[in-house]
Structure 1
Amino acid sequence: MSRFDRQEILPGFGKEGQQKLRNSSVLVIGAGGLGCPILLYLAAAGVGKIGLADGDTVALSNLNRQVLFGVGDLGKNKAETAVRYFQHKYDDIQWEIIPEFFSVENAQEIISGYDLVVDGTDNFPTRYLVNDACVLMEKPLVFGAIYQHEGQVSVFNLGPNSANYRDLYPKMPAASEIPNCADTGVLGVLPGIIGNLMALEAIKVLSGFCKPLKNKVLFFNSLTAQTYEVELVPSAETREAMPRSLASFEIMDYELACEGIKQLTWSEAMRKMNSDVAFVDVREPGEMPPLECTGLIKIPLSNLSAQLDRLEESEEVLFFCQSGIRSQQAAQQLQQTYPDKKIYSIRGGINALKT
């Protein structure tokens, strides 16, 4: 008896479906609340090769939903830590660790070696980036997202006449328009449910078992435990809004396209620090952990409009908050008043600061 016996005796799946999984490869982007259950069930199902891309590190606030990690993993890279967990658990899976954020610079190289991409990210710029890369490289994409009590799941770019993420959201919204769970909260079980549904769709695509959610979006509400589906129709207009080629994709700035605000990592921000740069903490008093450094200006977002003059003399302004959402709102607000300034938001906020 193999560890896949219960799958192989399932009518319609059988040894043929299991062999297809064994011969397949999946790239999972993000090892967060969605990525953790996705990885658990793709690995348990017997996918032959799994790649994991994530440049983030484990934070204490992750642990209510990112079930692959514990307190002993705080500060460690998520991709490296998750793969180590599975390497001890299963010895028959080929793993690729990609301990960096997905970007236009690395997208083609990373995606090219996989049959399917699963997007477990949590922000609009990266979702559009992943979608466009998959469309241009003709890779099917499993999508999922959560917001407070609701989750969404779909399969994009699956063969001819297939919808993609831009058919669901044709207009690129700002990430700051819909806060993530760092600002609105989430019960850890919701990304678990949606992540499991995403893993199920991935298994359907790879094995040919059952019908995936092609040209459909499944919505789940955790308050009522109700689901409903919305039909998607592929649109030529949304294709026109995409980069036409991989060359044009490589010069896209998805953060600017979504938000009009350039984001920096902490290391990039620190390299910019000098007397002409204002480094602004827009968190409310008492938010932890505190950050103290030379030249730091503390202006809570709630008081920013009344204190914009404090930033008038600065040639460049770098905002940060707890998770990177309020800092984008602050940057957009300042840009409206001082359109000629160089204004940045630090990606991930204080949660992304490696200590």
Structure 2
Amino acid sequence: MPSPQPLNDAERQRYSRHLLLPEVGEAGQQRLRDAAVLCVGSGGLGAPLLLYLAAAGVGRIGIVDADVVEESNLQRQVIHSTEWLGRSKARSACARIQALNPACQVDVHETMLTIDNATALIDGYDLVCDGTDNFPSRYLINDACVLLGKPLIYGSVQRFDGQASVFNLTEESPNYRDLLPEPPPPGAVPSCSAAGVMGVMPGLIGMIQATEAIKVITGIGSPLDGRLLVVDALSMRFRELRLQKDGSRAPITELVDYGQVCAEGSVPVESISVVELKSMLDADPESLVLVDVRNPPEAEVCRIPAAQLIPLGSIESGEAIEQLRELTKAGRLYVHCKAGGRSARAAELLAVQGIEAINVAGGIDAWADQVDPTMVRY
């Protein structure tokens, strides 16, 4: 393998504060320049990650993201700006990185990570940073990294809480399945779009991820290998939990259908589209009962006028079961949430109680997209 090329004068000027650190120095900066990092997601976690990796001098950064910039993103996804609304997140992030550090090569992958492309995408990079917010993606990224022997920088946030760790650093290192062997039941853990998130939390966790990535690349310090850092921003407390590789767990040998795996155990529920719901409401609104299972703060942002608010938590606790049973006497019961996950969970719970409820697929997001484009989105 050829020796690293020495830094040029421009690089020494730009990265002078790194060069002053004995732990980094010129050798460490060369490692950063020669490294290739893949960031899956350029949203809340990806925004600070990408900015600080580029600023640190990582030579090649890949961005995997198929989404577009929405106004509600700008509360926390600081790599994007208002002028990029409605346009590609990956290209928005690329433009910001190149404005910050033109020497950084950016590979834009405007696609979702899937079992069909994960191996090919990840294999071209030295390490992977997980900036996603859903369980199927986390398991897919983890398993592909294990199969390819790539270190994984993990982070997650919700409300005022966050977690970070380094997985798969060595053959003896734990991976995401040692933290969470099996996914939780569908709807058990609400997404940030459902539960909310303090805008700075992704910034805090994303910068911790960037710190760990820089440490792994340069070989300095003690990475969060075998350690889970847990942050409670409301009390500003940091805790550390030990993680160990579970030798009894079946080894990862292939990628699977993670959407199906994360849905296993759920009760099949009937669903309709928002367009079908709108037609029924227009034709005979008295024939159905529409229930919104979101939380009250969400309903204050936007709501479907015909819906009654009964949060999922009151269904899970059993508090609202008899109320909903009574409502079925007035018409057929339909349930909706923001995107369809919590309402599907509600329909499952009600089915166990002998109450038939039909899920409105896509929730109020789909309603705003397909029925009422003037509706405020969050």
Q: CA deviation at 1:171?
A: 3.0
Structure 2: how far apart are the matches of 1:109 and 1:348?
35
Q: In 2, distance between residues paired with 1:260 and 1:132?
A: 26
* 2:93 counterpart of 1:69: no
> 2:133 is matched with which residue: 106, 109, 122?
122
Q: Partner residue of 2:29?
A: 18
Structure 2: gaps of 5 or more residues: 1-11, 280-287, 312-319, 374-378
Are 2:264 and 1:253 equivalent residues in the alignment? Answer: no
Counterpart in the other structure of 1:58: 69
Contact 1:320/1:349, CA 8 A, preserved across alignment? no
Q: How many residues align?
A: 336
**What letter is aligned with 2:202?**
P
Residue 340 of structure 1 deviates from its aligned partner by 12
- 8 Å Cα contact 1:21/1:46 also seen in 2: yes
Tell me if 1:92 matches 2:108: no
CA distance in 1, matches of 2:33, 2:56: 9
The residue matched to 1:333 in structure 2 has which SS? helix
Q: Match for residue 244 of structure 1?
A: 253
Aligned to 1:131: 142
Whole-angstrom distance in 2 between the partners of 1:35 and 1:21: 18
1:293-304 matches, within 5 Å, as 302=311
Greater Cα offset, 191-200 or 77-86:
77-86
CA deviation vs aligned residue, 1:207-239 (integer Å, no higher than 9, x gap) = 11212111111112212222121111100233x
Please say which of residues 217-226 and 204-213 is displaced more in the overlay.
217-226
Deviation (angstroms), 1:73: 2.4
Distance 1:136 1:70, change over 3 A: same
Match of 1:346 in 2: 362
Q: 1:186 aligns with which of 160, 182, 197?
A: 197
The residue that corresponds to 1:333 in the other structure is 349
User: Deviations 1:45-82 (Å, cap 9, x if unpaired)?
Assistant: 11111111122222222211111123332222211211
Q: Secondary structure at the match of 1:237?
A: coil
Give 1:326 deviation, angstroms: 2.2
Report the residue type matching 1:333 in the other structure: L
Paired with 1:24 and 1:96, the residues of 2 have a C-alpha distance of 13
Q: Give the structure 1 partner of residue 338 of structure 2.
A: 322
Are residues 311 and 142 of structure 1, via their aligned partners in 2, closer, same or farther at CA, if it must alter by over 3 Å? farther
Displacement of 1:271 after TM fit? 11
**Structure 1 vs Structure 2 CA RMSD:** 3.7
**Could you tell me which amino acid in structure 1 is paired with residue 39 of structure 2?**
V
1:224 match: secondary structure: coil
Looking at structure 1, the residues matched to 252 and 358 of structure 2 have their Cα atoms a distance apart, in angstroms, of 26
CA distance in 2, matches of 1:153, 1:115: 19
| Deviation, structure 1 residue 90 | 2.0
Change (3 A) 1:341 1:348: closer
Counterpart Cα distance in 2 of 1:308 and 1:42: 55
Secondary structure of 1:245's aligned partner: coil
Aligned to 1:31: 42
The residue aligned with 1:2 is 13
Q: How does 1:148-167 map to 2 (within 5 A)?
A: 148-167=159-178
Partners of 1:76 and 1:281 in 2: CA distance: 33
TM-score (norm 1): 0.79
Amino acid at match of 1:103: T
Give the TM-score normalised by structure 2: 0.75
Name the CA shift for 1:55/1:258 in 2 (closer, same or farther; >3 Å).
farther
**Identity among equivalent pairs (%):** 37
Shift of residue 337, structure 1, vs aligned partner: 7.0
Deviation at 1:244, TM superposition (A): 2.4
User: 1:270: how far off?
Assistant: 9.1
Q: Unaligned stretches of 5+ in structure 1? A: none
Distance of 2:105 and 2:169 partners within structure 1: 24
Separation in structure 1 between the aligned mates of residue 85 and residue 301 of structure 2, nearest angstrom: 16
C-alpha contact (below 8 Å) 2:41/2:131 kept by paired residues:
yes
Determine helix, strand or coil for the equivalent of 2:153. strand
- Write the deviation string for residues 286-322 of structure 1: whole angstroms up to 9, x where unpaired: 6666679xxxx9675558944668669xxxx9x7532
Residues 187 and 258 of structure 1: CA distance in aligned 2, closer, same or farther (over 3 Å): farther
Pairing 1:215–2:226 present:
yes
Q: Structure 1 301/244 Cα, relative in aligned 2: closer, same or farther at 3 Å?
A: farther
Q: CA deviation at 1:103?
A: 2.0
Aligned equivalents of 1:207 and 1:352: distance in 2? 47
Is 1:232 the equivalent of 2:243? yes
Deviations 1:72-101 (A, max 9, x none): 322222112111222233211111112222
Contact 1:261 1:343 in 2 (8 A): no
Larger Rg: 2
Distance 2:156 2:268 in 1: 23
Name the CA shift for 1:325/1:183 in 2 (closer, same or farther; >3 Å).
Answer: same
